[in-house]
Protein backbone atom coordinates (compact mmCIF):
# COMPACT_ATOMS: atom_id res chain seq x y z
CA UNK A 1 0.00 0.00 0.00
CA UNK A 2 1.22 3.48 -0.81
CA UNK A 3 2.48 5.90 1.81
CA UNK A 4 0.25 8.97 1.93
CA UNK A 5 0.89 11.90 4.24
CA UNK A 6 -2.40 13.78 4.45
CA UNK A 7 -3.15 17.11 5.99
CA UNK A 8 -5.28 16.55 9.09
CA UNK A 9 -6.60 18.49 12.02
CA UNK A 10 -4.47 17.78 15.09
CA UNK A 11 -5.66 18.58 18.57
CA UNK A 12 -2.96 18.41 21.25
CA UNK A 13 -4.19 16.97 24.52
CA UNK A 14 -2.47 16.32 27.82
CA UNK A 15 -3.27 13.18 29.78
CA UNK A 16 -1.33 12.31 32.91
CA UNK A 17 1.30 14.87 31.98
CA UNK A 18 1.97 13.25 28.58
CA UNK A 19 1.19 15.16 25.43
CA UNK A 20 -0.19 13.36 22.41
CA UNK A 21 -2.28 14.05 19.33
CA UNK A 22 -5.77 13.03 18.31
CA UNK A 23 -6.39 12.90 14.57
CA UNK A 24 -9.44 12.78 12.35
CA UNK A 25 -9.61 9.12 11.28
CA UNK A 26 -11.58 10.06 8.16
CA UNK A 27 -8.70 12.06 6.61
CA UNK A 28 -5.57 10.71 8.22
CA UNK A 29 -3.33 7.80 7.25
CA UNK A 30 -2.41 5.26 9.89
CA UNK A 31 0.37 2.77 10.50
CA UNK A 32 -1.74 0.25 8.52
CA UNK A 33 -1.41 2.31 5.32
CA UNK A 34 2.20 1.44 4.46
CA UNK A 35 3.96 4.56 5.73
CA UNK A 36 7.57 3.31 5.53
CA UNK A 37 9.60 1.18 3.11
CA UNK A 38 11.35 -2.13 3.66
CA UNK A 39 14.65 -0.50 2.67
CA UNK A 40 14.18 2.18 5.33
CA UNK A 41 13.40 -0.46 7.97
CA UNK A 42 16.56 -2.34 6.98
CA UNK A 43 18.61 0.80 7.61
CA UNK A 44 16.79 1.25 10.88
CA UNK A 45 17.53 -2.34 11.92
CA UNK A 46 21.26 -1.73 11.60
CA UNK A 47 21.01 1.50 13.61
CA UNK A 48 18.85 -0.14 16.26
CA UNK A 49 21.30 -3.02 16.63
CA UNK A 50 24.14 -0.58 17.14
CA UNK A 51 22.45 2.08 19.26
CA UNK A 52 19.49 0.48 21.06
CA UNK A 53 19.73 -3.31 21.26
CA UNK A 54 22.08 -3.18 24.23
CA UNK A 55 19.18 -2.04 26.39
CA UNK A 56 16.09 -3.19 24.50
CA UNK A 57 17.43 -6.52 23.29
CA UNK A 58 17.82 -7.84 19.72
CA UNK A 59 14.93 -6.75 17.48
CA UNK A 60 13.48 -4.88 20.46
CA UNK A 61 12.51 -8.07 22.26
CA UNK A 62 13.41 -6.61 25.66
CA UNK A 63 16.47 -6.74 27.85
CA UNK A 64 17.54 -6.38 31.44
CA UNK A 65 17.77 -2.59 31.21
CA UNK A 66 14.69 -1.67 29.19
CA UNK A 67 11.28 -3.05 28.19
CA UNK A 68 10.37 -4.74 24.92
CA UNK A 69 9.49 -2.55 21.95
CA UNK A 70 7.43 -5.20 20.21
CA UNK A 71 4.19 -6.95 21.01
CA UNK A 72 0.71 -6.13 22.24
CA UNK A 73 1.82 -4.23 25.34
CA UNK A 74 4.02 -1.90 23.32
CA UNK A 75 1.46 -1.21 20.57
CA UNK A 76 -1.31 -0.70 23.14
CA UNK A 77 0.85 1.94 24.81
CA UNK A 78 0.85 4.04 21.61
CA UNK A 79 -2.68 3.19 20.48
CA UNK A 80 -4.55 6.43 19.76
CA UNK A 81 -1.36 8.45 19.52
CA UNK A 82 0.73 9.16 16.40
CA UNK A 83 3.93 7.97 14.79
CA UNK A 84 5.26 11.42 15.66
CA UNK A 85 4.85 10.60 19.34
CA UNK A 86 6.86 7.40 18.89
CA UNK A 87 9.51 9.31 16.91
CA UNK A 88 9.81 11.96 19.64
CA UNK A 89 10.03 9.31 22.34
CA UNK A 90 12.88 7.64 20.46
CA UNK A 91 14.60 10.96 19.85
CA UNK A 92 14.52 12.07 23.47
CA UNK A 93 15.25 8.78 25.25
CA UNK A 94 17.64 6.83 23.03
CA UNK A 95 20.41 5.92 23.05
CA UNK A 96 20.97 6.05 26.80
CA UNK A 97 23.63 8.61 27.67
CA UNK A 98 23.44 10.20 24.21
CA UNK A 99 19.77 11.15 24.10
CA UNK A 100 18.92 13.52 21.27
CA UNK A 101 22.22 13.05 19.49
CA UNK A 102 20.98 10.87 16.62
CA UNK A 103 19.90 12.95 13.63
CA UNK A 104 16.29 13.08 12.46
CA UNK A 105 16.82 10.67 9.56
CA UNK A 106 18.39 8.05 11.83
CA UNK A 107 15.46 8.36 14.22
CA UNK A 108 12.96 8.05 11.36
CA UNK A 109 14.74 4.90 10.14
CA UNK A 110 14.71 3.38 13.64
CA UNK A 111 11.01 4.22 13.93
CA UNK A 112 10.39 2.48 10.59
CA UNK A 113 12.17 -0.60 11.90
CA UNK A 114 9.98 -0.58 15.01
CA UNK A 115 6.86 -0.46 12.84
CA UNK A 116 8.17 -3.39 10.81
CA UNK A 117 8.94 -5.64 13.79
CA UNK A 118 5.45 -4.89 15.09
CA UNK A 119 4.06 -6.21 11.79
CA UNK A 120 2.69 -2.98 10.39
CA UNK A 121 2.89 -3.18 6.56
CA UNK A 122 5.54 -1.48 4.46
CA UNK A 123 4.66 0.73 1.51
CA UNK A 124 6.30 2.59 -1.37
CA UNK A 125 7.22 5.82 0.44
CA UNK A 126 9.66 6.40 3.29
CA UNK A 127 8.64 7.61 6.71
CA UNK A 128 9.53 11.32 6.73
CA UNK A 129 12.13 12.67 9.12
CA UNK A 130 9.99 15.59 10.28
CA UNK A 131 8.13 15.37 13.57
CA UNK A 132 5.11 17.43 12.43
CA UNK A 133 4.60 15.28 9.34
CA UNK A 134 4.83 12.14 11.48
CA UNK A 135 2.20 13.54 13.85
CA UNK A 136 -0.24 13.28 10.94
CA UNK A 137 0.08 9.48 10.89
CA UNK A 138 -2.15 7.77 13.41
CA UNK A 139 -0.81 4.92 15.52
CA UNK A 140 -3.63 2.36 15.59
CA UNK A 141 -2.79 -0.88 17.40
CA UNK A 142 -5.44 -3.11 15.79
CA UNK A 143 -5.83 -3.53 12.04
CA UNK A 144 -9.04 -1.71 11.02
CA UNK A 145 -11.86 -4.04 10.05
CA UNK A 146 -12.37 -4.37 6.31
CA UNK A 147 -15.92 -3.38 5.37
CA UNK A 148 -17.93 -5.84 3.34
CA UNK A 149 -17.06 -5.08 -0.25
CA UNK A 150 -18.60 -6.00 -3.57
CA UNK A 151 -19.81 -9.52 -4.21
CA UNK A 152 -17.17 -11.57 -2.43
CA UNK A 153 -18.31 -14.06 0.23
CA UNK A 154 -18.19 -12.84 3.85
CA UNK A 155 -14.70 -12.98 5.33
CA UNK A 156 -12.91 -12.35 2.05
CA UNK A 157 -11.34 -9.21 0.68
CA UNK A 158 -12.01 -7.49 -2.60
CA UNK A 159 -9.42 -4.91 -3.59
CA UNK A 160 -11.23 -1.85 -4.93
CA UNK A 161 -8.03 0.03 -5.82
CA UNK A 162 -8.66 2.01 -8.99
CA UNK A 163 -6.90 1.48 -12.30
CA UNK A 164 -4.60 4.49 -12.10
CA UNK A 165 -3.22 3.36 -8.76
CA UNK A 166 -2.73 -0.16 -10.12
CA UNK A 167 -0.68 1.25 -13.00
CA UNK A 168 1.63 2.99 -10.55
CA UNK A 169 2.03 -0.12 -8.43
CA UNK A 170 2.42 -2.65 -11.21
CA UNK A 171 4.92 -0.72 -13.32
CA UNK A 172 7.61 -0.62 -10.65
CA UNK A 173 10.86 -1.71 -12.37
CA UNK A 174 11.77 -3.95 -9.42
CA UNK A 175 8.43 -5.75 -9.69
CA UNK A 176 8.78 -6.34 -13.43
CA UNK A 177 12.20 -7.89 -12.82
CA UNK A 178 10.59 -10.26 -10.32
CA UNK A 179 8.11 -11.59 -12.91
CA UNK A 180 10.77 -13.63 -14.79
CA UNK A 181 8.75 -13.19 -17.97
CA UNK A 182 11.03 -15.10 -20.36
CA UNK A 183 11.20 -18.08 -18.00
CA UNK A 184 7.42 -18.14 -17.62
CA UNK A 185 6.97 -18.14 -21.39
CA UNK A 186 9.40 -21.06 -21.68
CA UNK A 187 7.40 -23.03 -19.07
CA UNK A 188 4.13 -22.40 -20.91
CA UNK A 189 5.57 -23.72 -24.19
CA UNK A 190 3.73 -21.16 -26.28
CA UNK A 191 3.76 -21.79 -30.04
CA UNK A 192 3.19 -19.50 -33.03
CA UNK A 193 -0.54 -19.34 -33.67
CA UNK A 194 -1.54 -20.01 -30.04
CA UNK A 195 -4.24 -18.01 -28.30
CA UNK A 196 -3.26 -17.03 -24.76
CA UNK A 197 -5.40 -15.15 -22.23
CA UNK A 198 -3.64 -13.10 -19.55
CA UNK A 199 -6.40 -12.88 -16.92
CA UNK A 200 -5.93 -9.97 -14.55
CA UNK A 201 -3.47 -8.56 -17.06
CA UNK A 202 -2.77 -5.38 -15.10
CA UNK A 203 -0.43 -3.26 -17.19
CA UNK A 204 0.39 -5.98 -19.70
CA UNK A 205 3.78 -6.97 -18.32
CA UNK A 206 3.09 -10.54 -19.46
CA UNK A 207 0.50 -9.89 -22.19
CA UNK A 208 2.77 -8.05 -24.59
CA UNK A 209 5.58 -10.66 -24.39
CA UNK A 210 2.90 -13.37 -24.78
CA UNK A 211 1.73 -11.65 -27.97
CA UNK A 212 5.27 -11.67 -29.33
CA UNK A 213 5.72 -15.33 -28.37
CA UNK A 214 2.65 -16.51 -30.32
CA UNK A 215 3.57 -14.41 -33.35
CA UNK A 216 1.36 -12.57 -35.81
CA UNK A 217 -0.75 -15.68 -36.42
CA UNK A 218 -1.58 -15.97 -32.69
CA UNK A 219 -3.48 -13.76 -30.30
CA UNK A 220 -2.90 -12.53 -26.77
CA UNK A 221 -5.97 -11.40 -24.83
CA UNK A 222 -5.51 -8.88 -22.02
CA UNK A 223 -8.36 -9.53 -19.60
CA UNK A 224 -9.13 -7.17 -16.72
CA UNK A 225 -12.00 -5.54 -14.86
CA UNK A 226 -10.50 -2.04 -15.06
CA UNK A 227 -10.98 -0.09 -18.34
CA UNK A 228 -8.07 2.20 -17.43
CA UNK A 229 -5.71 -0.77 -17.38
CA UNK A 230 -6.91 -2.11 -20.71
CA UNK A 231 -6.52 1.33 -22.30
CA UNK A 232 -3.01 1.54 -20.87
CA UNK A 233 -2.10 -1.88 -22.30
CA UNK A 234 -3.36 -0.97 -25.79
CA UNK A 235 -1.41 2.27 -25.78
CA UNK A 236 1.72 0.42 -24.71
CA UNK A 237 1.17 -2.27 -27.35
CA UNK A 238 0.82 0.37 -30.08
CA UNK A 239 4.03 2.08 -29.00
CA UNK A 240 5.85 -1.26 -29.09
CA UNK A 241 4.42 -2.27 -32.46
CA UNK A 242 2.43 -5.22 -31.13
CA UNK A 243 -0.64 -5.76 -33.32
CA UNK A 244 -1.92 -9.20 -32.26
CA UNK A 245 -3.14 -8.15 -28.82
CA UNK A 246 -6.81 -7.73 -27.93
CA UNK A 247 -8.44 -6.56 -24.71
CA UNK A 248 -11.46 -7.96 -22.87
CA UNK A 249 -13.32 -6.04 -20.17
CA UNK A 250 -14.29 -8.82 -17.79
CA UNK A 251 -16.59 -9.14 -14.80
CA UNK A 252 -15.51 -10.66 -11.50
CA UNK A 253 -17.01 -14.03 -12.40
CA UNK A 254 -16.49 -14.20 -16.17
CA UNK A 255 -13.39 -13.41 -18.28
CA UNK A 256 -15.61 -12.77 -21.36
CA UNK A 257 -13.40 -14.58 -23.87
CA UNK A 258 -14.32 -16.14 -27.23
CA UNK A 259 -15.79 -19.60 -26.65
CA UNK A 260 -13.55 -22.58 -27.37
CA UNK A 261 -10.58 -20.56 -28.66
CA UNK A 262 -8.05 -20.29 -25.83
CA UNK A 263 -4.94 -22.51 -25.69
CA UNK A 264 -3.58 -21.14 -22.41
CA UNK A 265 -5.30 -19.12 -19.67
CA UNK A 266 -2.73 -17.51 -17.38
CA UNK A 267 -3.12 -15.97 -13.91
CA UNK A 268 -0.32 -14.26 -12.02
CA UNK A 269 -1.16 -13.43 -8.38
CA UNK A 270 -4.79 -12.79 -9.29
CA UNK A 271 -6.77 -16.04 -9.20
CA UNK A 272 -7.30 -15.66 -5.43
CA UNK A 273 -9.32 -12.51 -6.20
CA UNK A 274 -12.06 -14.40 -8.03
CA UNK A 275 -15.38 -14.55 -6.21
CA UNK A 276 -16.28 -18.24 -6.59
CA UNK A 277 -12.96 -19.89 -7.40
CA UNK A 278 -14.26 -23.29 -8.45
CA UNK A 279 -17.18 -21.71 -10.28
CA UNK A 280 -14.78 -19.41 -12.14
CA UNK A 281 -12.80 -22.42 -13.38
CA UNK A 282 -15.98 -24.00 -14.72
CA UNK A 283 -16.83 -20.80 -16.59
CA UNK A 284 -13.26 -20.51 -17.87
CA UNK A 285 -13.41 -24.06 -19.21
CA UNK A 286 -15.99 -22.96 -21.80
CA UNK A 287 -13.44 -20.65 -23.38
CA UNK A 288 -10.64 -23.21 -23.66
CA UNK A 289 -9.92 -25.49 -26.57
CA UNK A 290 -10.31 -29.23 -25.85
CA UNK A 291 -6.59 -29.42 -25.03
CA UNK A 292 -6.47 -25.98 -23.44
CA UNK A 293 -4.44 -25.40 -20.28
CA UNK A 294 -4.66 -23.19 -17.20
CA UNK A 295 -1.54 -21.76 -15.55
CA UNK A 296 -1.67 -20.22 -12.08
CA UNK A 297 1.05 -18.38 -10.17
CA UNK A 298 0.16 -17.54 -6.56
CA UNK A 299 2.03 -16.32 -3.51
CA UNK A 300 3.18 -18.86 -0.94
CA UNK A 301 0.58 -18.95 1.81
CA UNK A 302 3.03 -18.38 4.68
CA UNK A 303 5.47 -16.04 2.92
CA UNK A 304 6.09 -13.00 5.18
CA UNK A 305 5.40 -10.55 2.34
CA UNK A 306 2.18 -12.36 1.42
CA UNK A 307 1.06 -12.14 5.04
CA UNK A 308 1.57 -8.38 4.97
CA UNK A 309 -0.50 -8.02 1.83
CA UNK A 310 -3.44 -10.33 2.45
CA UNK A 311 -5.46 -11.87 5.26
CA UNK A 312 -5.57 -15.70 5.35
CA UNK A 313 -8.93 -15.83 3.55
CA UNK A 314 -7.34 -14.07 0.58
CA UNK A 315 -4.40 -16.45 0.23
CA UNK A 316 -4.75 -19.87 -1.37
CA UNK A 317 -2.70 -23.06 -1.45
CA UNK A 318 -1.79 -25.50 -4.23
CA UNK A 319 -3.89 -28.14 -2.46
CA UNK A 320 -6.98 -25.95 -2.65
CA UNK A 321 -6.40 -25.23 -6.32
CA UNK A 322 -5.88 -28.91 -7.02
CA UNK A 323 -9.27 -29.71 -5.48
CA UNK A 324 -11.07 -26.96 -7.37
CA UNK A 325 -9.39 -27.97 -10.61
CA UNK A 326 -10.37 -31.62 -10.14
CA UNK A 327 -14.01 -30.70 -9.59
CA UNK A 328 -13.90 -28.55 -12.73
CA UNK A 329 -12.42 -31.38 -14.85
CA UNK A 330 -8.72 -30.50 -14.89
CA UNK A 331 -5.62 -32.37 -13.75
CA UNK A 332 -2.14 -31.20 -12.78
CA UNK A 333 0.30 -31.36 -15.67
CA UNK A 334 3.39 -29.61 -14.27
CA UNK A 335 4.79 -27.54 -11.41
CA UNK A 336 7.65 -25.06 -11.65
CA UNK A 337 9.94 -23.56 -9.00
CA UNK A 338 10.74 -20.29 -10.77
CA UNK A 339 9.75 -18.19 -7.78
CA UNK A 340 10.78 -20.38 -4.85
CA UNK A 341 13.74 -20.07 -2.51
CA UNK A 342 16.91 -18.88 -4.20
CA UNK A 343 15.08 -18.83 -7.54
CA UNK A 344 12.91 -15.92 -6.43
CA UNK A 345 14.70 -12.71 -7.47
CA UNK A 346 15.90 -10.67 -4.51
CA UNK A 347 15.22 -6.97 -4.07
CA UNK A 348 11.90 -7.02 -5.91
CA UNK A 349 9.56 -6.92 -2.92
CA UNK A 350 7.79 -9.97 -4.36
CA UNK A 351 6.85 -12.94 -2.17
CA UNK A 352 7.84 -16.48 -3.01
CA UNK A 353 5.26 -17.99 -5.35
CA UNK A 354 4.14 -21.39 -6.59
CA UNK A 355 3.48 -22.02 -10.28
CA UNK A 356 1.22 -24.81 -11.54
CA UNK A 357 -0.05 -25.86 -14.97
CA UNK A 358 -3.29 -27.80 -15.52
CA UNK A 359 -4.87 -29.51 -18.50
CA UNK A 360 -8.20 -31.27 -19.00
CA UNK A 361 -8.61 -34.71 -17.47
CA UNK A 362 -9.11 -36.33 -20.88
CA UNK A 363 -6.03 -34.86 -22.57
CA UNK A 364 -2.38 -35.92 -22.39
CA UNK A 365 0.60 -33.69 -21.81
CA UNK A 366 1.26 -31.46 -24.78
User: Per residue in 51-98, pLDDT tens?
Assistant: 888 888 888 888 767 788 988 889 999 999 999 999 999 999 888 888
Contact in structure between 120 and 141 (CB atoms under 8 Å): no
Q: What is the rounded distance in angstroms from the CA atom of residue 153 to the CA atom of residue 108?
A: 40
DSSP conformation letters of 46-84: HHHHHHTHHHH-GGG---SSS--SSSHHHHHHHTTSBHH
User: Per residue in 350-362, pLDDT tens?
Assistant: 889 999 999 998 7
Which residues have CB under 8 Å from 228's CB, separation 6+?
162, 163, 164, 166, 167
Least confident of 176-180, 186-190, 209-213, 262-266: 176-180
Q: What is the rounded distance in angstroms from the CA atom of residue 177 to the CA atom of residue 186?
A: 16
User: Per residue in 129-162, pLDDT tens?
Assistant: 999 999 999 999 988 764 333 334 444 445 566 6
Structural element, H or E, at residue 170: helix 163-170
What confidence score (pLDDT) does residue 321 get?
95
By C-alpha distance, which of 141, 106, 99 is closest to 126? 106
Mean pLDDT for the stretch of residues 302-308: 86
Mean pLDDT for the stretch of residues 261-275: 93
**Residue 26: pLDDT above 70?**
no
What confidence score (pLDDT) does residue 4 get?
33
Confidence band of 13 (pLDDT split at 50, 70, 90): very low
By C-alpha distance, which of 11, 5, 7 is closest to 36? 5
Amino acid sequence: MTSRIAVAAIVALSVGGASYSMLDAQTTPSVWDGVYTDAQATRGAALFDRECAGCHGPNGEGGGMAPALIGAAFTANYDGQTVGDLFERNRTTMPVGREGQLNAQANADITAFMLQVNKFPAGDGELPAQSMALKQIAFVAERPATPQQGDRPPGTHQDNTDGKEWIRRLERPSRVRGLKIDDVIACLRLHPGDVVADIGAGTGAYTIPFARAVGPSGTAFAVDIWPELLDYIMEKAKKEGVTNLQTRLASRDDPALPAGRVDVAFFHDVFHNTDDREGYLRVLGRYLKPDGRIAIVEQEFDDPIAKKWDVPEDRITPEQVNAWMGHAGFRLEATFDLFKGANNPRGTGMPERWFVLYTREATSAR
